[in-house]
Amino acid sequence: MSNHRSSSEIKVLDGNRAAAYGAMLCQPDVIAAYPITPQSEVVETLFDFKAQGLLNGELIEPESEHSSMGILRGASVAGGRTFTATAAQGLLFMFENCIHVATQRLPIVMVNVCREVAGPHIVVCGHSDIMMVKEMGWIQLHAQSCQEILDLILMAYRLAEDRQIRTPAVACYDGWYLSHLWEPVEIPAREAVEQFLPRLETRPQVDPETPMVFGPWISGWTGTEYRYKQSAAISQAKAKFDEIDQEFREIFGRGYGGQIEEYRTDDADIVLIAMGSSASTAKVAIDKKRDEGLRAGLIRIRMFRPFPRERLVAVLQQKRAIGVIDRSVCFGWDCGNLFLELKAGLYNSAVNAPLLNFICGLCGIDVTTEIIERAVDDVSRAAQGDAYTEVIWPDLE
């Protein structure tokens, strides 16, 4: 373990402020961000850092999220490190530009504070925003604590800027449950961050001295090659995420397990799968069920894109039933998004246990320990061979 921890400091921060610290530690060259609830404090804190002289880069509040991502595109094409933050409607407004920068392999990092997309027009937590854009070609990561938010941003830059990957990355955390939750957060020393995250090196792409057309028209064959390479590149992020988790542990003294966190899964008969803040609630319920004699475990998905198929298949071997907690709906499939993806991931694997889906925590409803305990019970009965309903909406019962 390195000595750098001694020059770090601990502050009590909410998730938004932790994100701002994470970004500040990476010293982006250009930040362009538009405020939107529940993310506004990220932007405000960054501007405050600028006023305090803690941020050297350019900091812009543009007139929209679409322009925010466009600005980052320009700065990134020219070789700069960039950062933004958004949520819900803002994420959707910048969607076109998000796709554009992914196809152009720009190592942009942003934070999404998960919030239900309208309608109805309620400003609350949900995963519908980040699920709507899962195909945009970005690496997608999810945090469970304020500490992890800060750490995830550092890791996101490492992944995005990796020469074999060069793909933009979004670090997500639940609106309100994490964005506005105050926890102690260790802010690493600048030197430790620089050890983990080297300077961004790019070749000149916008330089009158070596004039180039960036983004010309291309043939269908070249375009197909672009798609193929982009697909191969994002998939590299899986193994790399596991690798840098180890490195992170060595430098900063904490790790999270890489693509997935395995909680009491080794000897579990049944496993729940969750993502985001609900996973920490779920752990409490899992512990309680364990105390009651049930061998239950939890997988927390940290990397949703690329989908951690191999790690999931490995952990889910021999499990007798599996429950997926979804905070979103996949319309047209009658289930949640995580459930759908898991099913696809398990096809042609040795895992053929019953899969149950619990769609809950939508529209700002809490995911309580009671709901998780009930999910464990349902999954447990399915493991014993009882008939079960595949997709359950606990909040409507």
Partner 1 sequence: MKFSNFIRKIRNLCPPDCHVCEEACAKKMGEMGPVIKANQIHESDVYKAITCLQCSEPECKDACPVDAIRKDEESGIVRVIAEACVGCESCIETCPYGNMLFSSNAKRAFKCDLCDGEPTCVAACPYKALEFFKGGNIQTYLGEDDFLSPGTRACAGCPGELVYRLTQRVLGKNTVFFGCPGCMTILMTGYETKAGSKLSYVSCLFTNVISTMTGISRYYHHIGKEANLVAFVGDGCLADIEFQALSAAAERREKMLVICYDNEGYQNTGNQMSSTTAFGARTTTSPVGGELRGKNHDSKYMPLIMVSHNTSYVATASPAYLEDYARKLTKAMNVKNGLSYIHVLIPCPTGWGFPMDKAIHISKLAVETNYFPLWEYEQGKLNLTHEISIRQPIGDYLKLMSRYRHLHEDELQQLQSFVDKRFARINSLASRTMENCNT
Binding site for partner 1 (CB under 8 A): 29-30, 32, 56-58, 60, 62-64, 66-80, 82, 96-97, 100, 206-208, 211-219, 222
Residue 98 or 271: the one with the smaller Cβ distance to partner 1 is 98
**What are the start-end ranges of the H helices in 60-145?**
65-77, 88-93, 95-103, 128-132
- Of 29 and 44, nearer to partner 1 (C-beta) is 29
Which letter does DSSP use for residue 312 in this model? H
Residue among 207 and 310 whose Cβ is closer to partner 1: 207
CB of 140 to partner 1, least distance (A): 22
Indicate the length of the chain as a whole number. 397
Cβ(127)–Cβ(327) below 8 Å = yes
Which lies closer to partner 1 via its Cβ, residue 67 or residue 368? 67
Instruction: Label the pairing between strands 355-359 and 321-326.
Output: parallel
Query: Which CB sits closer to partner 1, 138 or 248?
Result: 138
C-alpha 216, offset from chain centre: 32
Tell me how far, at minimum, the Cβ of 63 lies from partner 1, in Å.
3
Contact predicate 230/167, CB 8 Å: yes
Q: Which residues are CB-neighbours of 233 under 8 A, at least 6 positions away?
A: 105, 164, 165, 166, 167
Compare residues 62 and 255 and give the one whose CB is closer to partner 1.
62
CA dist., res. 15 & res. 182, Å (int): 7
- The residue (of 100 and 343) whose beta carbon lies closer to partner 1 is 100
Neighbours of 134 (CB within 10 A): 16
Task: For the CB of residue 155, give the shortest distance to partner 1 in the complex, in Å.
Answer: 24
| Closer residue to partner 1 in complex, CB, 40/205 | 205
Return the structure tokens found at 263. Answer: 């909680």
Least distance (Å) between residue 22 CB and partner 1 = 20
Is the dihedral angle over the CA atoms 115, 40, 142, 228 positive or is it negative? positive
Contact 351, 342 (CB under 8 A): no
Toward partner 1, which CB reaches closer, 60 or 365?
Answer: 60
User: Could you tell me the smallest distance in angstroms from the CB atom of residue 159 to partner 1?
Assistant: 22
Its sign, for the CA torsion 315, 316, 318, 323, is: positive
CA nearest 319: which of 342, 357, 351?
351
Report in angstroms how near the CB of residue 202 gets to partner 1 at its nearest. 11
Question: Nearest distance from residue 64's CB to partner 1, in Å?
Answer: 7
Token look-up 């957060």 returns 185
Least Cβ distance, residue 100 to partner 1 (angstroms): 6
Nearest-approach distance from CB 28 to partner 1, in angstroms: 10
State how far the alpha carbon of 201 is from the alpha carbons of 80, 83, 207, 239, 309, in Å: 9, 16, 15, 22, 31
What is the helix (H) or strand (E) element at residue 386, kind and residue range?
none
- Return the H-helix or E-strand segment holding 316: helix 309-316
Nearer to partner 1, 100 or 381 (CB): 100
The nearest distance, CB 12 to partner 1, in angstroms, is 32
CB 301, CB 144: distance < 8 Å = no
